[in-house]
Copies of this chain bind each other. A is one copy, B any other.
Amino acid sequence: MEEEQLRALLCDLDALKQRPDDPASIDRMRERVVAMMNPAAGAASRSKIKDMSAEVVDSNPYSRLMALQRMGVVENYERIRDYSAAIVGIGGVGSVAAEMLTRCGIGRLLLYDYDTVELANMNRLFFRPEQVGMTKTDAAVQTLSGINPDVVLESYSLNITTVKGFETFLASLKARSSHGRSTGVDLVLSCVDNYEARMVVNQACNELGQTWMESGVSEDAVSGHIQLLVPGETACFACAPPLVVASGVDERTLKREGVCAASLPTTMGVVAGLLVQNALKYLLNFGQVSPYLGYNSLKDYFPTMEMRPNPQCSNPACVQRQREYMESKPARDAAAKAKMEAEASTANECPVHLDNEWNISIVDDEDTPTSSIRGTSDILPEGLVRELPAADSYAEPAAPVSSSAIDDDLEELQRQLDALNSS
């Protein structure tokens, strides 16, 4: 409203410059200024919208998203309003991820961070200099609520690595859990910048059986990754710890006084985009959800891989989730079979793309072994050897292992970690 008034004022001033002798226009401007001085005239960017519409008009903020449905990419886009996501760490990646999900019209967004906005954050997207000193969660809610008032925003300014913070974190995830759901959120996105916080998110999600996605950017700002973690089904964050911890070095001793990591808005923007894209594919059930995707910006190289859970994982909750996953295999197989049969009977009834005038089809690229977590088979791609027991063989009671066998496993794991870290 005020914005409009100011714009009108600019037009009036421009007109006045062309025709200086127009006292009536000066009166009109005066009225505008007085109206703006009345505080009642403030606020109002856009009002809430009850139902997402696919109508193609300039005033519809959802038209370009609902078009995904018309174009056959997403079966039911509007379902995004039923989903809740939690974002832990509202920094260079988390803030952009939050903005993307907000603009996509997600139902509810839970934001966690203990930090405040600093000028030193201005080399990444999202925060603005006038927000310096605000908590990152408050500043995020301020910006996001203005962008899309339809999204329910919950701000948690706390440190999840403290005892109290962890309790609040767990409680907030569990709130609104209903029949058949252990938590009230559909996905947790970890956008933190340190190992300790990642292990805490890992612990919470293992305890709750909560699917989550991890993201990270290297200290030299030129590479990053995203990863999907499904407790019991994929490796958890403790199943294959990074080298720095495997060697027993405390992370805090690595941080020296007066030394800061580099960061770039580009790398963080790309990682946030890949992360939220993967989240949308997971929530709205389209495309292939990537189990792991790396980004090496110096070479524009994007490695992918899949990581099985480690039956000897040090996290008891992970081992418990692995056991449950194995026990539920027969039910899962039956459900998958029923779904496939149902789909087969309705196949060929409607084409995926209604208007594919150019007969464009998506060709499989056999050089790129990206595979979906959903409906993944146990057949490994060519050239891969299973180093850990396959999911199927785990259900059988494990034979007691000798101490030297465990040592062998650890050495093998260390070798794999070394290989991963040097690539």
- Give residues in A with beta carbon < 8 Å to B: 3-4, 6-7, 9-10, 13-14, 16-17, 20-23, 26, 29-30, 33-34, 36-37, 39-40, 42, 44-46, 56-65, 67-68, 70-73, 96, 99-100, 103-105, 118-120, 122-125, 128-134, 146-148, 219-222, 243-244, 254, 258-267, 269-270, 272-274, 276-278, 280-281, 286-288, 290, 293, 297-304, 357-358, 360-363, 365, 367-368, 370, 421-423
Residues of B contacting A59 with CB < 8 Å?
Answer: 118-120
Q: Please give the distance in Å from A368's CB to the nearest CB on chain B.
A: 5
User: Are B358 and A261 in contact, with the CB atoms below 8 A?
Assistant: no
User: Are A220 and B302 in contact, with the CB atoms below 8 A?
Assistant: no
What are 13 contact pairs spanning A and B, CB under 8 A?
A3-B131, A13-B30, A16-B26, A17-B26, A44-B132, A61-B122, A65-B262, A68-B220, A266-B280, A267-B273, A270-B274, A302-B302, A363-B423
CA distance A125 to B100 in the complex (A): 7
User: Are B20 and A23 in contact, with the CB atoms below 8 A?
Assistant: yes
CA distance A350 to B259 in the complex (A): 20
CA distance A155 to B274 in the complex (A): 31
CA distance A276 to B260 in the complex (A): 23
Residues of B contacting A131 with CB < 8 Å?
Answer: 3, 44
User: Are B277 and A270 in contact, with the CB atoms below 8 A?
Assistant: yes
Contact among B63, B147, B358, B361 with A128 in the assembled complex (CB-CB below 8 Å): B147
User: Are B62 and A33 in contact, with the CB atoms below 8 A?
Assistant: no
CA distance A71 to B123 in the complex (A): 17
Q: Please give the distance in Å from A251's CB to the nearest CB on chain B.
A: 13
User: Are B370 and A299 in contact, with the CB atoms below 8 A?
Assistant: yes
Residues of B contacting A39 with CB < 8 Å?
Answer: 130
**Residue of B at shortest CB range from A56?**
B260
CA distance A70 to B262 in the complex (A): 9
